[in-house]
Amino acid sequence: MKKILSFTIVYLAFSLYAWSQWTSDVMNNTTFCNNPGQKFSTVVTPGLNGQVFIAWIEANPTITVKMQLINADGTLCWDPQGLTISSSLENEYHAPLDIISDENGNAFIVWYDLKDGMNELYASKISSNGEFLWGTEGVTIYQTDIDTSSLTNTSISLSQIGNLFIGTEMISFTDGKNKIMLQKIGSDGAISWVTPVMINDASFSCGKPKLISSGADGSMVSFTKSSGGLFGSVVTIWVQKFDESGNALFGEGKVIYNLGFMTLWQNYDALSGGEDDMLIAWHSFVGSSSRPDSYLQHISSEGVISWQENGLLLSTESNIFNDFPRIAGKNQDGETVVFWNHRIDLLPCGTEIYGQKFSSTGERLWTDFGKKFISNAATSFTGFTIDNAFISDNLSFLIYDSLNVDNVSMNLNQIIAVGIDSYGNFLWEEPSSALSLSNTSKSYIVRVCL
């Protein structure tokens, strides 16, 4: 357990108790909020010197957005009840959507609020002392009438000079063509663009934006274009880059994937490759195949797609469900590690977790099938879900939860960590280390903070 906590791994399982320091008891984990009422939609981001910002929605009984800062030793910096970011007296709907921090120890949080017949998107900047640097009400980013559209899938990035880029999907209730709204907020809280930038297409719905910082004051945005029904939809993945003025730098955009079918509800993974570039992973049903394969692609900050068209296969093994890939990141040698679910049929029973490492030129380094890290018998009533993966130096770490399918109605699951060296060998004598084994329902395992 000490090996895990030395990397400041934070997860929340809101079955609440009242601790304010780390505990090594995997049956009774550290709790950072014991207010009555339901907590959900948790997001976290690292602060300075091992600190962690946490934000969540709390229904107690009105719905509020709360936030807490935790020291590296697990002690709370603010009021044990949490800092209230936004409150409601009329049971209006709030949702923290994303959070990020800067080099000065400030946190930026974005949430949306449904009130007075409008969907409204807000942002706030909070110092490590709990000071509201953009005012107690935050900054209003965007408003739209609830009868015409809704807001979802918001992502943010922070530029090198401290400006905040926000992207959110607008679900259209009129023409059925969703689009993505982009806005930039200066470090002082001033809205940068008089008119938001829109990513749209007359023939497709645009959605699921994911932003990373690129350049001194720009952002790369990956997103999907889709048409068709919920199942069997034609979904493609694109990337565009915007400068400080909101100008698109990649022309009509760069196509990452345009082969095969994806379901509208499935997501994809994207994160920074460490040099203003972007790594993207997804799974798709190619052609008439009923079993998905997983893919990986890299695009530079100049818009150069590094590997073969439509991405690299994580595994060439056939007649297997290889899906829901999760990128750990790029190590010091420029190698990329990614994990995914591996199973023989659609049901979660028998799910195993595989991993693959790619060289900077796209060569598969852990055999063409990848390496198995978590085993499971095909008849087992256990399903695995990859919650997080990350790289520290040249070591890879995987966080997953194990759910007993027999108890799916009770959602009793365990949280497990695995450490892997650069050769794909386990770091510890026991292949995995338990983070939580309590017989409780756990959810919102959100992020690892280094």
- 191-227 pLDDT, tens per residue? 999 999 999 998 889 999 999 999 999 999 999 998 8
Rama region for 249: left / alpha / beta (φ>0; ψ in -120 to 50; rest):
alpha
* CA separation for the pair 289, 291 (Å, rounded): 5
Q: Mean pLDDT score of the chain, rounded to an integer? A: 83
Which of 439, 346, 428, 307 lies closest to 15 in space, CA to CA? 439
Distance of CA 188 to the CA centre of its chain: 26
* Predicted model pTM: 0.88
What tokens does 289 get?
């195949």
Q: Are 30 and 10 in contact (CB under 8 A)?
A: no
Q: Are 39 and 58 in contact (CB under 8 A)?
A: yes
Cβ burial of 221 (10 Å; 0-12, 13-18, 19+) is buried
What tokens does 349 get?
């029973």
Range of lowest pLDDT (27-31, 34-38, 82-86, 227-231):
227-231
Checking if the pLDDT of 22 tops 90, the result is no
Is the omega angle on the peptide bond into residue 96 within 30 degrees of 0, that is, cis? Answer: no
What tokens does 201 get?
């297409």
Q: What share of the chain is helix, strand, coil (3-state, %, to 5)?
A: 0, 50, 50
pLDDT at site 149: 80
Confidence of residue 1 (pLDDT cuts 50, 70, 90): very low
pLDDT at site 160: 94
* 3-state DSSP assignment of residue 310: coil
Checking if the pLDDT of 407 tops 60, the result is no
